[in-house]
Chains A and B, each alone.
Chain A
Amino acid sequence: MKFTWFNLMPWPYLPDDFREKHRSVWVDIPNTLYDPRKGHHVYHTYLDQLEYAETLGFDGIGCNEHHQNGYGLMPSPNLIAATLARRTSRAALCVIGNSIAGYNPPIRVAEEFAMLDVISGGRLIAGFPVGTPMDTNFCYGQIPALTRDKYREAHEMIMKAWASEEPFAFDGKYNQLRWVNCWPKPIQKPHPPIYIPGGGSIETWDFCLDYDYNYSYLSFFGYLRGKSLLDGYWERVAKRGKDDSPYRAAFAQIICVADTDAEAERLYAEHVLYFFNRCLHVFPPFADPAGYRTMATIKHGALAQLTLARQKILENLTWKQLIDERFIIAGSPETVRQQLEECIKGLRIGHLFCLFHNGNMPDWKTRHSSKLFAEKVMPHLRDLWPEWKHDERWWMHPMDDRLRPEERRPGAEQSGAEWSR
């Protein structure tokens, strides 16, 4: 198993009456609620936590892209990853990812990801989400019906740019570049591992399997609800005649560890509820513009996806419900271990994106929970897939002789700092 410590970077100062006063945490959230001076401290706290996760032994540290979003302070995850590239040297940098349909021209993503891979010594894991409708359509103005087509074209350009050893012309429908010539190029060959975060679009499964990319199901609603979706994915894997390595799939899970189950509630309940009640308060039409989901996907799940129903669920959530319905996995190390094993085996996943920081959780609680997990839970879950132990197809392949910039003092003379090295 590979464990990645993920921070969504929520804004921790949403007011108590946020739900009543505002219709959405995303897209049209009043930006007067953001205070840049507090933001300075928030960013550094979150970045410190990601760096701390590496010292705890997590395999990866992760960030993602959201825009105009009260629970995601990373319009540019690449900036976050760039700071981490200089302050860490062992963990994979999981950027899950860049919503490539919104980049103009998409070669920018090929370049920035290459920069990150080179600076980090080959530690990048590159995510290519279609992007949520909030981000890609409402904030970044892409036409819903054409978003997937534009995504496919952007993907084609980026992969070709990484693979090609000569400048080439790209005559796309949405992007025309006479001279595509990626410079710099990534260390990892043929390219960094590619992760495709998906919701429930069935087209995404085939896309992952066409190229052997990792399929990441990023849900906040836990493994009981994720099961039918992942089952569908694995059925598709079998139908396509692919091997069923669990490393083909990743899942995101909110996790809270304390000494006892009761202590977990006492320490974390208010912060997790802050996340569900305030951070997921999205105006439903922003989540489902006509054309974003294909007609095939809508027919597959039509009304089950109607987000008004989801909003109703969120209104009166309790800690007990969150636990009973397994939206979150919280409790003593033993409780968490048991439930996570059920989650990992039930979904057949080799990668877990662990969400320890939730809502307005203070730094010390986040670290406490992460540390308990690293020491008392993670070791017991490491070897759940012994038969796939050596499957590294969806993990980073860094340089052995990479630098450790976090150990170097600025201004100190570097021995052997010759370009010829």
Chain B
Amino acid sequence: MKWQVVETKKGTRCRVLEGGSGAPLLFLHSAGGLLRDNPFLDRLAQRYHVLAPEWPGYGESTGEELLEDMLDFTLHGWDLVDALGLRHPHLVGHSMGGMIAAEMACLAPREVGKLALASPAGLWLDEHPIPDIFAMLPYQLAEVLFHDPAAGQALLTGGADLSDMDALKDFYLSSQRRLTMAGKILFPIPNRRLSKRLYRLTAETLLVWGASDRLIVPAYAGHWQALIPGARVEMIEAAAHMLPYEQPEAFARVLSSFLG
């Protein structure tokens, strides 16, 4: 897969990881951004034309000051679709990206191929309060995100040696920048009233969950399903909130059989 840069009509500059051919598939990353290695995208690129943009505020993408609220984020998603010249892309979103993908599909239901949401944010259940990712120490974050926290910690840091002060500083700065952006739609509670809009969905919808998700627990899958009649739910074993990274093969397989 290769990086390219696109400029949206609004003025953001976004780096996009692109590869493969076939039906267009737009992948929207989580609050943590794309990691150094994204093997599930490589697998998907064997069947689809995969485009995975980095959101403004992530990696080399800029223009974060132009996006302030949920509507800005949603429209930015469609601005990217336009800038990339895609028609009826499948929308696949993970966590925060799932929230954005669902909002995009509610706003313009007829522009979407199929919709796949992997442990999406965006709903809130009082009986299952989502842990506050903005109030966590780094090691706590790995514990809540991964089925295997030790392996997860290594994935999060991308192999950087954090005992090196410069590497630590870089890691801290980029992670602050990412979460600054994510906070605009996730802080203090990741609910921007998407549930009021889900009735508009027309695309065929899949919900994929890691069976041991401790951040957005699997009970949320049922809630999504109740709000989207006809949505399918797939559980992936030995995976938690970071399921695309924890079980890339199973994740790509489940998606492929849904997207066709």
Interface residues of A (CB under 8 A from B): 27, 137-138, 141, 143-146, 283-286, 289-291, 293, 295, 298-299, 302-303, 306
Contact = CB atoms under 8 A, between A and B. Distances in A.
A27 B132 CA distance: 13
Contact of B188 (A141, A145, A284, A286): A141
Contact of B168 (A141, A284, A295, A303): A303
A172 B181 CA distance: 22
A298 B135 contact: no
Kindly list the 5 A-B residue pairs having the minimum CB-CB distance in the complex, ordered from nearest: A290-B179, A291-B180, A290-B176, A141-B188, A290-B180
Given A285-B134, A285-B135, A290-B180, A144 B172 contact: no
Contacts of A298: 173, 176
A283 B179 CA distance: 18
Contacts, number: 66
B180 A138 contact: no
B137 interface: yes
Given A289-B134, A291-B180, 18 more contacts: A143-B184, A143-B188, A145-B180, A145-B184, A146-B68, A284-B137, A285-B134, A285-B136, A290-B177, A290-B179, A290-B182, A290-B183, A291-B179, A291-B183, A291-B184, A295-B173, A302-B172, A303-B165
B165 A283 contact: no
Contacts of B176: 290-291, 293, 295, 298
B140 to A, nearest CB: 8
B175 interface: yes
B175 A299 contact: no
B187 A144 contact: yes
A302 B187 CA distance: 23
B69 to A, nearest CB: 9
Decide if the interface of chain B is mainly helix, strand, loop or mixed: helix
Nearest to B65: A145
Interface residues of B, number: 23
Judged by DSSP, the binding face of A is helix
B173 A289 contact: no
A289 B181 contact: no
B173 A146 contact: no
Given A137-B188, A138-B135, A290-B134, A295 B172 contact: no
A303 B187 contact: no
A137 B187 contact: yes
Contact of B169 (A141, A145, A284, A303): A303
B15 interface: no
* Listed residue (A286, A289, A306) with the most chain B CB atoms within 10 angstroms of its CB: A289
Interface in B135-186: 135-137, 165, 168-169, 172-173, 175-184
A283 B135 CA distance: 9
Given A290-B176, A303-B172, A285 B137 contact: yes
Contacts of A306: 172
Nearest to A292: B180
21 contacts: A138-B135, A143-B188, A144-B180, A144-B183, A146-B68, A283-B135, A285-B134, A285-B137, A286-B135, A289-B134, A289-B179, A289-B187, A290-B134, A290-B178, A291-B180, A291-B187, A293-B176, A295-B173, A302-B169, A302-B172, A303-B165
A345 B68 CA distance: 44
